[in-house]
Amino acid sequence: MNVSRAIVLVEDDEGHALLFMKQLRRRGIRNPIHHFVTGSGALAFLDAPKPALETPQLIVLDINLPDMPGTEVLARISTDPAINAIPVVMLTSSDDQEDARLSFELGCRYYMIKPLHVERFVDVCRDVGYPLSVEPVGGVDTATDGPMGSPSADRET
Amino acid sequence: LSAADASLSQNPDPAEGRWEIGLSALILTGLVVAMTLVIMLGAQSNREITQLKQAERTKFLATDFLLNLRRAESSQRGYLLTGNPEYLRGYNDVITSLPLSLSRLEAATSAEPAQKARLTKIRSHFENKRQEMAATLEKQASGRRIDALAIINSDRGFTEMSMISSDVRSVIAFEENSASHLNNHYVSIYYLSIFVLLLMIVSGFITFYRIVGFIRTNRNYRLVLSESNRKLASLVKSRTAEIARVNDEIQRYAYIVGHDLRGPLVNITGFTAELEQAEVVLARQFEALKATVPSAIDPECLLAVEEEIPEAIRFIKISSARMDRLIAAVLKLSREGRRTVLAEPVDMNALVRDLVDCQAQQIEAANTVVSIGTLPDLFSDRLALELIFGNLIENAVKYLDPARPGRIEILGSVKGDRNLYEIIDNGRGISTADAERVFELFRRAGEPTVPGEGLGLAFVRNAIYRIDGAVTLDSEVGTGTKFTINLPARLEIAEHQRALTA
């Protein structure tokens, strides 16, 4: 049942993107990841016509992007019938209530203030983007701290 | 404002005031003296009018007496010359009234000794004259005309008559003389009255001038005062707006800095975790090597993998966790600062009771008694009050002296339109040097035996300021601490507080 559709990650901080991707892999998620550092780059990719099987399975969108606000990218996605069914997780370092309100209005599935530990965020992605392509993993990441850091791949296969 | 200051501080010249007071006093004195004189002279002239009347009457009486006497004499002579008794009628008319006339004249002049002496003389001459006339007439009537004429020819009657005439003129002259003296006082009264009138006019003008000046000065002061009030109000308004703007900017700045610091911190934490993972792999490799080819291991490498790297990672993790808490505190402070303050009725007894109940476990653990007095209610922001009292109660419990049983008191009182709340503990206390510092962000007083970031009191003060309150601290090391919170009983949400939420 592994369809393995892509995850689109729009994040301008290379460090955050790298940590996020590493953590996804460590947690056994094998979906291809397309990383964009600008909103326009991500939109160009999403707008390009593609077969249904290549439609991304999850979009992770940072609000603070260098070229346009993440909420604007979200607005474009929500008005495009070809892609507005893709679940979107908004990611932000601000707790601006106006951003949160606008994001939910535009149909985002989850709004998350960037946690200090990426593991928590990966949990959210696994839930929102279900079913992601997950492989069971060994005890490689046992050293990660925090309750969310422990492997829980056996929960869903 | 400086112009208003200058005109406000410009006091009236004291020398000028003295001059005016002196002049007014002089005029008043002059008026009093002149009026007294007028009144005295009036009374005097009243008396003089009476005297004048009396003099006129005396003159009339004297003249009348002399005329009647002459009439009697000429009537007597006519009868003696002609023998016609018709001539006697004039004599008979006046001869009986003459003594009476003389008596009246005597009465009128009895106050003046000189006149009185004259009248005594006149009386005796009159008696002689009357006898002379009566004797001649009697002789004529009895037919002895020769005898009668002889008496007349003796000049006796003539002499008496001229004596009387001379004395009566003296009496009249005396009265006229004294009347002429009286007239001078009238002139004095006349001139004095004119003088009084002039004084009154001058005084009236001065008073009028003073009143006009006073009204004008008063109006000017009022104008200056209202102008300076207006300027002050607009100054306060612009300063308040300025402060609100700066405060707003600081809040935004704190917010932005907080968020911008957080991005790198996520990377530091994340990659430290990655480093830790890598270290675990390395350590495993070294474990395997120790078992198989221990000679191949560089002892320095082993030290790095087993001790130095884990130690460095541990410090990085502790520091970044702390930094995260600090950034979170800054963000919380900024968020609280930007929050809309809402005034609502707050039951302070219930609020404090709930907050104490929240700490029940810690209070029990610290063997502490908390007593709450009757607290006056507020119309204020509930969230701010919860933050203020929550933090202060928590602090009181947290910093008790473990050497003695804890005692915490929460009291309230009303002072005008403000309420005072006191939170008193018998804890370890805060030294005077630290009393102001404890309200600053990230600052703590005394030995750090209890965990904390130095945030609570910074939040407390910030929240108190937001609801127009003030907080003071009395403390003695080893005895205890008293926080006094002064809050408006009814919070007016000012314009600048609303503006902050924009």
- Residue B138 is predicted with a pLDDT of 87
- Residue B409 is predicted with a pLDDT of 93
A97 to chain B: nearest residue by CA?
Answer: B335
Tokens 């009292």 correspond to what residue?
A: B389
Q: How far apart are CA B253 and CA B240, in angstroms?
A: 19
Judge whether residue B332 has pLDDT over 60: yes
Residue B362, CA distances (Å) to A132, B397, B405, B479 in order: 46, 7, 13, 21
Contacts of B273 in chain A (CB under 8 A): 117, 144-145, 149
- Residue B494 is predicted with a pLDDT of 66
- ipTM of the shown complex: 0.73
- CA proximity to B488, closest of B336, B339, B333, B343: B343
pTM equals: 0.52
All residues at 6 or more sequence positions from A92 whose CB lies less than 8 Å from its CB, including other chains: A62, A63, A64, A70, A99, A111, A112, A113, A114
Q: Decide if A12 touches B, using CB distance below 8 A.
A: no
Average pLDDT, chain B: 85
Tokens 């933090």 correspond to what residue?
A: B391
Q: How many CB pairs under 8 A join A and B?
A: 54
The helix, strand and coil proportions of chain B, stated in percent and rounded to the nearest 5, come to 75, 10, 15
Q: Decide if A19 touches B, using CB distance below 8 A.
A: yes
Q: How far apart are CA B271 and CA A117, in angstroms?
A: 10
Q: How far apart are CA B272 and CA B313, in angstroms?
A: 7
Q: How far apart are CA B247 and CA B243, in angstroms?
A: 6
Residue B123, CA distances (Å) to A74, B98, B131, B164 in order: 150, 11, 12, 9
Contacts of A19 in chain B (CB under 8 A): 266-267, 270-271, 274
The more confident residue out of B371 and A154 is B371
Q: Do A144 and B277 touch (CB under 8 A)?
A: yes
Please report which helix (H) or strand (E) contains residue B248, including its range. helix B156-292
| Segment B243-283, tens digit of pLDDT | 878 877 877 787 777 778 888 888 898 899 889 989 999 99
Question: Which pair of structure tokens corresponds to residue B435?
Answer: 């009393």
Q: How far apart are CA B398 and CA B350, in angstroms?
A: 22
- Residue B488 is predicted with a pLDDT of 93
Closest by Cβ to A144, choosing from B267, B273, B324: B273
Closest by Cβ to B280, choosing from A114, A143, A149: A143
- CA proximity to B380, closest of B485, B455, B244: B485
Please report which helix (H) or strand (E) contains residue B368, including its range. strand B368-372
| Segment B172-216, tens digit of pLDDT | 998 888 877 766 667 777 888 888 888 888 888 888 888 898 899
> What's the order of all strands across the beta sheet hosting A7-10?
A33-36, A7-10, A58-62, A88-92, A110-113
Question: Which pair of structure tokens corresponds to residue A51?
Answer: 């077969």
Distance to chain A for B299, nearest Cα, Å:
24
- Residue A3 is predicted with a pLDDT of 58
Q: How far apart are CA B90 and CA B83, in angstroms?
A: 14
A96 to chain B: nearest residue by CA?
Answer: B335
- Residue B495 is predicted with a pLDDT of 56
Task: Mark out chain B residues that contact chain A at CB-CB < 8 A.
Answer: 255, 259, 262-263, 265-267, 269-271, 273-274, 276-277, 279-280, 317, 320-321, 324, 331, 335
Q: How far apart are CA A6 and CA B501, in angstroms?
A: 42
Q: Do A145 and B273 touch (CB under 8 A)?
A: yes
Q: Decide if A143 touches B, using CB distance below 8 A.
A: yes
Judge whether residue B367 has pLDDT over 70: yes
Below-50 pLDDT ranges, chain A: 1, 139-157
- Residue B17 is predicted with a pLDDT of 67
Strand segments (E) across A27-116:
33-36, 58-62, 88-92, 110-113
Distance to chain A for B270, nearest Cα, Å:
6
The CA-based dihedral angle spanning residues A134, A140, A144, A148, taken in that order and rounded to the nearest 10 degrees: 30
Q: Percent of chain B at pLDDT above 70?
A: 94
- Residue A151 is predicted with a pLDDT of 35
The arithmetic mean of pLDDT across residues B286-313, rounded, is 89
| Segment B72-102, tens digit of pLDDT | 888 888 888 888 888 888 888 888 889 999 9
The total number of residues shown for chain A amounts to 157
Q: Do A118 and B317 touch (CB under 8 A)?
A: no
Question: Which pair of structure tokens corresponds to residue B147?
Answer: 């005898």
- Residue B373 is predicted with a pLDDT of 92
Burial of B19 (0-12, 13-18, 19+ CB in 10 A): exposed
The arithmetic mean of pLDDT across residues B299-311, rounded, is 90
Q: How far apart are CA B233 and CA B213, in angstroms?
A: 30
Residue B126, CA distances (Å) to B87, B99, B103 in order: 21, 9, 12
| Segment B337-366, tens digit of pLDDT | 777 888 899 999 999 999 999 888 888 888
| Segment B381-423, tens digit of pLDDT | 999 999 999 999 998 998 888 888 889 999 999 998 999 999 9
- Residue A155 is predicted with a pLDDT of 33
Closest by Cβ to A141, choosing from B277, B324, B335: B277
All residues at 6 or more sequence positions from B393 whose CB lies less than 8 Å from its CB, including other chains: B352, B355, B356, B359, B370, B408, B410, B423
